[in-house]
A and B are shown apart, each in its own frame.
Chain A
């Protein structure tokens, strides 16, 4: 089971991350989970093989301050989350404007559970079957 070490809010996030950097924690990654009504964003840090996880709750559609100024490694993952979940990160060092992984004509926010955003697998029989089942 995963342990969540700390809950953070939009205001305390950047300060907390900067403090962790100073304390010698290594940035591992970020994980976004769509919980239907809101997003959970986990910030995973590591020190001496121990995972230290922060959790941030974000209302949809989601605007979050970027931590890429404090921690450059977060830049790539934040751009990826922008693509896949449509969350906007403010103050990114390099902003690919939601076309980092996805081409301009690709489906938007493919990882969101928002009704109306369908996964476009046009000719796939499996996808059609699922639609019928629903």
Chain B
């Protein structure tokens, strides 16, 4: 299992409180020029399908519940990437009344990517880092079970029966 997890990480993106700058740059990462798909990264909409959560923007009082909800739905092992300074500390908006702070106030973060907004190259770097962390986590969480003795179950051999009388008649015809 751990051998294959890092080969194709599926990414779900959540816009928390962002100004859209990081979002469009992250989407640009996936498109042909930067092409995150060459690392096997696939962008999905459903958190249940994903391995890596990419969050842009800081947390406010309303979306913190949504963020936690999305995070909880991702199956373990999972990695979280905080894109941009807003996701790290609140950035430019840290003094706003409705901003609680960086996303680490709600969920654990594995990789911080600095920048306002980060360049797509930096974002790709961040995702590749997250993949390494994901691989490590997979190894840690992998439980090795004891080899069980293999029991081969075979069906009992049927007693040889004479052919049914009807079938015999048909074959005669």
Chain A residues within 8 Å of B, Cβ to Cβ: 102-103, 105-107, 110, 119-121, 123-124, 126-127
Contacts and interface: CB of A to CB of B under 8 A. Distances in A.
B97 to A, nearest CB: 4
Contact of B97 (A105, A110, A123, A126): A110
Nearest to A119: B97
B98 A106 contact: yes
Given A103-B62, A106-B61, A124 B94 contact: yes
A127 B61 contact: no
A103 B60 CA distance: 9
Interface string B32-63: 00000000000000000000000000001110
Contacts of B157: none
B101 interface: yes
B168 interface: no
Interface of B: 60-62, 94-99, 101
A10 B97 CA distance: 31
A102 to B, nearest CB: 7
- Give the most central of A120, A121, A123: most B CB within 10 Å: A121
Contact of A121 (B60, B61, B62, B97): B97
A126 B95 contact: yes
**Which 3 pairs show the lowest CB-CB distances between chains A and B?**
A103-B61, A103-B62, A119-B97
